[in-house]
């Protein structure tokens, strides 16, 4: 990245593209690290669903999970089948809608999430230093703001 661009105070579409390019590369690198922290027969998509349920709570429908993950119903359906087979989740009939199911984490699922995060945390701890944590802590509020902006505009289309 051009360091002069970082000193620029007149930001526009080109800088937005550069921002998202950096964000995408950061995600790709961190996902590669996450992949090394998850048992071989599982995928990060499985971890993301379990992590989502830990964060947002049990009882979500597959459709709610599909919406939150921004993937297809088939992808979530396949992932839920794998997670259920592994004993990480249970699907139960919805108490309010007989046509729907709800997804609940098991203790094994919660343990899987804790172990993956623990492994990833140790990996990060092997190379991140105090200054790196400070930089990330300062950047976090801005990332949350951008994520919320993108979420609110997730259905936007080009002219």
φ/ψ (deg, to 5) at 104: -130, 135
> Each residue of 82-125: pLDDT tens digit?
999 999 999 999 888 888 999 999 999 999 999 999 999 999 99
Alpha helices in 86-106 (DSSP H): none
- Does the pLDDT value for residue 62 go beyond 60? yes
Q: Averaged over 21-47, what is the pLDDT?
A: 94
Task: State the pLDDT at residue 96.
Answer: 85
Do residues 5 and 21 touch, judged by C-beta distance below 8 A?
no
77 vs 5, residue with greater confidence: 77
Q: What is the pLDDT of residue 52?
A: 96
Pairing mode, strands 89-93 and 101-105 = antiparallel
Confidence at 41, pLDDT banded by 50, 70, 90: confident
| 22 vs 99: CA distance, rounded Å | 43
Distance CA 3, CA 138 (A): 19
| pLDDT on residue 72 | 94
d(CA 144, CA 28): 18
User: Which tens digit of pLDDT belongs to each residue from 5-20?
Assistant: 556 667 888 999 999 9
Look at residue 8 in the predicted model and tell me its pLDDT. 63
* Backbone phi and psi for residue 9, each to the nearest 5 degrees, phi listed first: -110, 0
Q: Share the mean pLDDT of the chain.
A: 92
Report H helices in the chain: 3-7, 13-37, 44-56, 62-69, 73-85, 107-125, 130-152
pLDDT score recorded for residue 144: 96
**Is 0.75 surpassed by the pTM of this model?**
yes
User: Is residue 32 predicted with pLDDT exceeding 90?
Assistant: yes
- Residue 16, token pair as written in the block: 């937005």
Helices 44-56, 13-37: axis angle to 10 degrees equals 100
Nearest CA among 85, 135, 23 for reference residue 31: 23
Predicted confidence at residue 152, as pLDDT, reads 93
In 3-state terms, what secondary structure has residue 103? Answer: strand
Confidence of residue 48 (pLDDT cuts 50, 70, 90): very high
């Amino acid at each position: 990245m051009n360091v002069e661009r970082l000193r620029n105070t007149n930001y526009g579409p080109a800088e937005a593209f550069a921002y998202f390019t950096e964000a995408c590369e950061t995600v790709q690198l961190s996902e590669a690290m996450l992949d090394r922290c998850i048992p071989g027969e599982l995928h990060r998509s499985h971890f993301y669903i379990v992590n989502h349920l830990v964060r947002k709570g049990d009882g979500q429908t597959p459709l709610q999970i599909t919406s939150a993950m921004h993937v297809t119903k088939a992808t979530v359906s396949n992932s839920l089948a794998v997670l259920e087979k592994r004993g990480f989740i249970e699907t139960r009939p919805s108490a309010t809608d007989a046509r729907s199911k709800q997804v609940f984490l098991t203790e094994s699922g919660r343990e899987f999430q804790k172990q993956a995060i623990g492994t990833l945390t140790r990996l990060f701890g092997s190379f991140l230093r105090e200054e790196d944590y400070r930089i990330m802590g300062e950047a976090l509020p801005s990332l949350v703001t951008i994520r919320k902006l993108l979420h609110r505009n997730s259905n936007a289309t080009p002219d």
